[in-house]
Amino acid sequence: MEAVNITFESLCDTPPDEALPPLDRAEIGQDAVVNEETRFWRENGYLILPRFFSDDLLDAYARSCVEAGVTPHGWREPCPFTHQPAMRDLACHRSLMDKLEMLIGTPMGLNLALTGWRSSSRTWHQDDYLNPPYINCHYAAVWIALEDTHPDSGLFEYVPGSHKWPLMRGSKVREHLPEDKLDGNWPLEAEKLVTGIFDRKIEETGLPIEAFHARKGDVLIWHGRLAHRGSIPNDPERERRSLITHYSSILKRKDLPRHKRHGNQGWYFLLPDSVEA
């Protein structure tokens, strides 16, 4: 089928309430924390925490990237945090993990980091469709600004309220991909399919697109179902120093059974072949 004939809804499910985090249910779950932040999250699907991290922690992590010789492209692997303690000092910081647990309702573990100092230029997507189907939004991602962002560097963009749309499913997207593209790189192929479908959905709903004009130390947490992208930089040479980290519930992530605590801070997942430090 031509992508132009595939509707957003046909690639999605509406999971039953009891499969979702307490704040995502039609009636807020009894065990949810209800306060200004969680009410905002429930309504908008993101939370901005201005000046959340101190310069000390941000600069120590930025120095560790320079010392590791990975700037500006970042580590090529998805989970460098298993051997980069300075990254964990930020990404598993207790204060951040407490916020994530408040929003999702279970302890969370770090499972992915995007460490390049350029926009990923990833087009519109929900993160959750790249996960196993039993995660059901027990997932969140975090954008940490290591410096004031420049508007030409390709800002992080998102559609407030889009986390209330149906939940895109990887299995339904894969049904439309050629058989020889169903290997571990299928998300790259899927991006080509879903981009236009998201564009149409955004246009149909008329929801506004927001950009995260971050100052150093600002943090934006987004919902696993929120439509978002790394916009194309106006100036491709301009750095955008950030750390982007993704988290799943340690109670739900059956496919990642090993997790470890960063000192007395938060959890991170280990893969079978993880290098540890």
**Residues in touch with ligand AKG (CB under 6 A):** 114, 119-120, 122, 127, 141, 156, 228-230, 244
Q: Please say which residue, 8 or 222, places its beta carbon nearer to ligand AKG.
A: 222
Report the nearest approach of ligand AKG to the CB of residue 45 (Å).
14
Report the nearest approach of ligand AKG to the CB of residue 156 (Å).
4
Q: Please say which residue, 8 or 156, places its beta carbon nearer to ligand AKG.
A: 156
Q: Please say which residue, 232 or 275, places its beta carbon nearer to ligand AKG.
A: 232
Determine the length of the chain. 277
One-letter amino acid of 212: F
Helices (H), 26-157: 36-44, 55-67, 85-91, 94-104
Report the nearest approach of ligand AKG to the CB of residue 172 (Å).
19
Tokens of 29: 């779950």
Report the nearest approach of ligand AKG to the CB of residue 12 (Å).
18
Q: Please say which residue, 32 or 244, places its beta carbon nearer to ligand AKG.
A: 244
CB 78 within 8 A of CB 113: yes
Report the nearest approach of ligand AKG to the CB of residue 19 (Å).
22
Contacts of residue 82, Cβ cutoff 8 Å, sequence gap at least 6: 268, 270, 271, 274, 275, 276, 277
Q: Give the residue closest to ligand AKG by C-beta.
A: 230
Q: Please say which residue, 89 or 127, places its beta carbon nearer to ligand AKG.
A: 127
Tokens of 37: 């932040």
CA–CA separation, 243 and 240 (whole Å): 10
List the Cα angle 21/213/105 in 5-degree steps. 10
